[in-house]
Structure 1
């Protein structure tokens, strides 16, 4: 959000029309809000995550996701980005290492890599 705000202010300083400055600030605010909303949706603060082979389920008070772990999922040093294919839609779910205990995070990384490997073999 800060990035979009700084971009809007810096960019609008070089515009000569007040209307153009307003449009620049308004569009940056809208894009910032949409980005923040996507981030909050894909990076929940709490919830229950159940992983069984390639099937997974995540629930919290605002979000319920069921499906398989896709090939698009990524494993990084301190986070796992899960792309979950559900029956009707797909979702990104980002889990940080600081949010779970170390053993659970290592298990999640292993199962994600195994699920990606299985999906690649099926294709």
Structure 2
């Protein structure tokens, strides 16, 4: 998204009308703001994360998520992207390895893989 925004701003400099340049910059700014809000919501800097089997709960001063780890969750080497199905809505939660201790991160990766495997076996 960042590269697209930079490309759009640079491209707007070659447009012939001032109005189209302004519209292009404003649209890029709006897209950047929406992307930044999504990033901050799904990638919190601090909070408490509680795991119980495939159920999880996350709380910090602005966000409270409670639900089940979905099969859409992804495990990467340095991060875990959790898709949490809540009672009323679903949320993405991204946890980096540098944000937690090594043992807790390994446990989170295992539980995420177990949740994915259980969903595939239940089909």
TM-score grouping bracket, smaller chain normalisation = over 0.9
The equivalences for 1:32-111 within 5 A come to 32-111=32-111
Q: Distance in 1 between matches of 2:5 and 2:76?
A: 29
After superposition, the CA RMSD in angstroms is 1.3
Give yes or no for contact 1:7–1:28 (8 Å, CA) kept in 2.
no
Q: Deviations over 1:49-72 (max 9, x none)?
A: 001111000000000001100010
Give structure 1 regions of 4+ aligned residues with deviation exceeding 6 angstroms: none
Q: CA deviation at 1:9?
A: 2.3
Match of 2:31 in 1: 31
Q: Distance in 1 between matches of 2:78 and 2:51?
A: 19
Q: Distance in 1 between matches of 2:2 and 2:42?
A: 19
The equivalences for 1:7-26 within 5 A come to 7-26=7-26
Q: Deviations over 1:12-40 (max 9, x none)?
A: 02211110000000000000000000000
Unpaired runs of 5+ residues, structure 1, are none
Match of 2:113 in 1: 113
Q: CA deviation at 1:122?
A: 2.2
Per the normalisation by structure 1, the TM-score is: 0.95
